[in-house]
Chains A and B, each alone.
Chain A
Amino acid sequence: DAGVTQSPTHLIKTRGQQVTLRCSPKSGHDTVSWYQQALGQGPQFIFQYYEEEERQRGNFPDRFSGHQFPNYSSELNVNALLLGDSALYLCASSLMQGGPGYTFGSGTRLTVV
């Protein structure tokens, strides 16, 4: 049973560019959440998608947007990249109605130069 799959694993972008990160949730999960983890810090919640709609959002600017597809997979888009957007981006899947916990992917390491 595949867990959460994220792509790409590493990415280098230039300031001002746009980036799209992808996530396939664990089989059977219907909810996808995205987190940003700066070096040496704990993950910070960006937003959560359920039934193709953004359900919760953390304290991130509108440059961060997302999408969930009918097959529950999800994308995270970041526009007008800043150096401070360099981080590990984690996707986590879960069941909206509850369950043993969130399953995280290994993340996408984004470097903005």
Chain B
Amino acid sequence: DAKTTQPPSMDCAEGRAANLPCNHSTISGNEYVYWYRQIHSQGPQYIIHGLKNNETNEMASLIITEDRKSSTLILPHATLRDTAVYYCIVKKAAGNKLTFGGGTRVLVKP
């Protein structure tokens, strides 16, 4: 699985959009970009995933660049409950393990 690079931390104002970047320059054609988050003392929670097209669900939007070497997770209206560590993971669709890096620690401030 390709490696990912994320900033270690970022702050965001409550009610504003949070844009979380991720670099995955060695991604292969059959690898997806997955995002998970982990709120303190809980298990990681699946947020969204995509291959090449932009994706949106009730939690977030995922923007993948045309060359697929980077992506951005967008939390449209951050709330205090969005404070968590966010992990960007690249993996094939089926079977393969999740390889977690350091993630981005997001602090949403009032």
Do A103 and B94 touch (CB < 8 A)?
no
Which residues of chain A in 42-68 are interfacial with respect to chain B, using CB atoms and an 8 Å cutoff? 42-45, 48, 50, 55-56, 58
Interface size, chain B (Cβ < 8 Å) = 22
Least CB distance, A4 to chain B, in whole angstroms: 7
Interface centre among B85, B93, B100 (most CB of A within 10 A): B100
Q: How far is the CA of A105 from the CA of B42 in the complex (A)?
A: 8
Query: Which residue on B lies nearest to A103, using beta carbons?
Result: B46
Cβ-neighbour of B103 out of A42, A92, A107 (below 8 A): A42
Do B102 and A101 touch (CB < 8 A)?
no
Given contacts A45-B97, A45-B99, contact A100 B43 (CB under 8 A): no
Least CB distance, A83 to chain B, in whole angstroms: 21
Cβ-neighbour of B95 out of A96, A104, A107 (below 8 A): A96
Chain B's interface: helix, strand, loop or mixed, by majority? loop
A90 beta carbon closer than 8 Å to chain B: yes
Cβ-neighbour of B46 out of A31, A35, A100, A106 (below 8 A): A100
Residues of A near B68 (CB, < 8 A) are none
Least CB distance, A6 to chain B, in whole angstroms: 8
Q: Interface residue tally of chain A, by bracket?
A: 20 to 34
Least CB distance, A59 to chain B, in whole angstroms: 11
Do B43 and A48 touch (CB < 8 A)?
no
Query: Which residue on A lies nearest to B45, using beta carbons?
Result: A104
Do B42 and A106 touch (CB < 8 A)?
yes
Q: How far is the CA of A58 from the CA of B99 in the complex (A)?
A: 10
Given contacts A42-B87, A43-B44, A107-B43, contact A101 B49 (CB under 8 A): yes
Can you list 17 A-B contacts with CB-CB less than 8 angstroms, sorted by A residue number?
A42-B87, A42-B102, A42-B103, A43-B98, A48-B95, A58-B97, A92-B98, A95-B94, A96-B95, A98-B94, A100-B46, A101-B34, A102-B98, A104-B43, A104-B44, A104-B45, A107-B42
B positions within 8 Å CB-CB of A: 34, 36, 41-46, 49, 85, 87, 93-103
